[in-house]
Structure 1
């Protein structure tokens, strides 16, 4: 069996182009379910929003970096973990927050704003932590990653579809109200289908190397949820808000990570296996946590001024 850092998973250019389109469609669906009030609402809960942004874009990548130093996985696995940590959240976090009896308004607002911030923050964060890593940095240098090129790619598959979705939601309100749910469900299922396709097309590699990444992914995912909750608690947020922040930080858009891995890293083995395993485990862990919280009453109850999406 070859070292995981030397293998490259197979994904032909045509399939990659379709995957880019699916991810853009997913971002369009998220934007259709986003209101301009979601951005304005941030100003009415600045402490909770600051906690979520700090946890996502600063605390989680730093803690992930520390975890890779502790576990000492292969360089490509370490890069995969760092990339996933730098990804923005997905809209499944909003569904899980509702299930967990958390602050859905905060979750929706954070998803919208975090995806906008990630256009610039994600490639810069990844370049910084990846370049700082003692074993992964030499591998990253051989790839000669250009953060500005990655920004352009993210802008095309996240920024433009997101802006178009916001415009459609504002300009065609009746159409949006009718189609936003089917679009969101269809795009999410299409993304899951392509993740499954990527794994199925490289099944032998996943069977050979999943054991190398499974423990790292499980620990990493648990740390992501824990980081969100701990930062929210440190900011003095209510249990209602802490649940939203924890799920928002714990749920990462591994599909975006997979697109970038095939686009910029040639399907590099450890990175692709980490993103593929994360894409499934993250949802399982999130559903388990949300279900557990759903059976536990909120500490202090629901704040009187809390807003929920209708």
Structure 2
């Protein structure tokens, strides 16, 4: 199997995806809306919940930023994927969760308060942790490390980019939620689903515009993405069970670790790995598969009753 992947992927490191400046700008704008929507549904109580449950949230963040990247590096080595594919896989798991994980948790009758608290904490940490984690974990894969040396990625430039993409819209959303709670309550009903639909359109549109590339390389990365996504969900589920969380908490932990902000990964791939089209290709395909498996799992859990108190009236409460 590894030989099969190596032969097919022989040229993916040379892949160049030519996307217009308008497409990249639109992607950044949608990510900003996405993070703004996360913040609209975030309150100070969500950060206090991190303090109230430090072991649970801390274990989830360790699994997210240490366990999953380490397992991903081992997976890239086991499957013998090319350097750009390895970078894309590592980039995705080093990105925080978005509000899609909150939506799926609510749909699955999970612990939405825990989900929102972890999303808020992971997004705050991501401003610094994500760029440093990408550089560190990619350095453990020889093929990825060689490519990074060739493209000369500046980690601190990526920190600045992530700070703008996450920090500004997240801070703006928190301010609006604090000063205008009634408006925030109405707006999040439209912002969250609209951002999700627009993000899916961006991903699908980007792939459709490069359909020939998609046909040529989808077989190269499909197996790696399917296995990595299943592994992410399994680690989330195992973390929740290991912490002896009730069923709603296990479901929340599963989506927090299994559903990544692939839109952010796509923006970073286009902005910093423009000459390595394989990185953006992995992020885009991961996004489609991530949504597919997340919706399937949440639909399955929605039909399975849980022994827990009644869900709060508003997601996150």
**Hey, what's the Cα distance between the residues in 1 that align with 2:157 and 2:273?**
13
Please tell me whether residue 262 in structure 1 is matched to residue 249 in structure 2. Answer: no
Report whether the alignment pairs 1:55 with 2:63. yes
Q: Aligned residue for 2:188?
A: 180
- 1:279 paired residue among 284, 287, 291: 287
- Displacement after TM superposition at 1:297 (Å): 3.5
2 CA distance for matches of 1:49 and 1:112?
Answer: 11
Q: Is contact 2:37–2:99 with CA below 8 Å preserved after alignment?
A: no
TM-fit CA distance, 1:306: 9.4
Aligned pair partner of 1:302 in 288, 308, 317: 308
Larger deviation, residues 282-291 vs 146-155: 282-291
**Alignment of structure 1 residues 1-310 onto 2, 5 Å:** 3-266=11-274, 268-298=276-306, 301-302=307-308, 309-310=316-317
The TM-score, its normalising length taken from structure 1, stands at 0.94
Aligned to 2:4: none
Structure 2 SS opposite 1:3: helix
Q: Report if the CA contact (8 A) 1:261-1:267 is conserved.
A: no
Gaps of 5+ in 2: 1-7
Aligned residue pairs, count: 308
C-alpha distance in 1, partners of 2:102/2:26? 26
Q: In 2, distance between residues paired with 1:195 and 1:306? A: 33
Structure-1 separation of matches of 2:130 and 2:202: 22
> 3-state SS of the aligned residue for 1:135?
helix
Counterpart CA distance in 1 for 2:261 and 2:188 is 19
CA displacement at 1:213 relative to structure 2 = 0.7
Shift of 1:110: 0.7
Deviation at 1:267, TM superposition (A): 5.5
Contact 1:49 1:110 in 2 (8 A): yes
Whole-Å separation in 1 of the counterparts to 2:195 and 2:295: 19
Shift of 1:117: 0.7
Contact 2:110 2:252 in 1 (8 A): yes
How many angstroms apart in 1 are the aligned matches of 2:31 and 2:280?
Answer: 16
SS, match of residue 110 in structure 2? coil
Q: Deviations over 1:248-267 (max 9, x none)?
A: 10000111111011101116
Considering only aligned residues, what root-mean-square deviation do their CA atoms show, in Å? Answer: 1.9
Residue deviations 1:27-70 (CA, integer Å, cap 9, x gap): 11111111111111112222221221111111111111111111
The answer to whether the Cα contact below 8 Å between 2:109 and 2:311 also exists between their aligned partners in 1 is no
Partners of 1:80 and 1:305 lie apart in 2 by: 37
Change (3 A) 1:305 1:164: closer
> Scaled by the length of structure 2, what TM-score is found?
0.92
Deviations 1:98-117 (A, max 9, x none): 22221111001111111111
CA contact (8 A) 1:65 1:82 kept: yes
- Residues 305/270 of structure 1: CA separation in 2 closer, same or farther (3 Å cut): closer
Q: Extract unaligned runs of 5+ from structure 1.
A: none
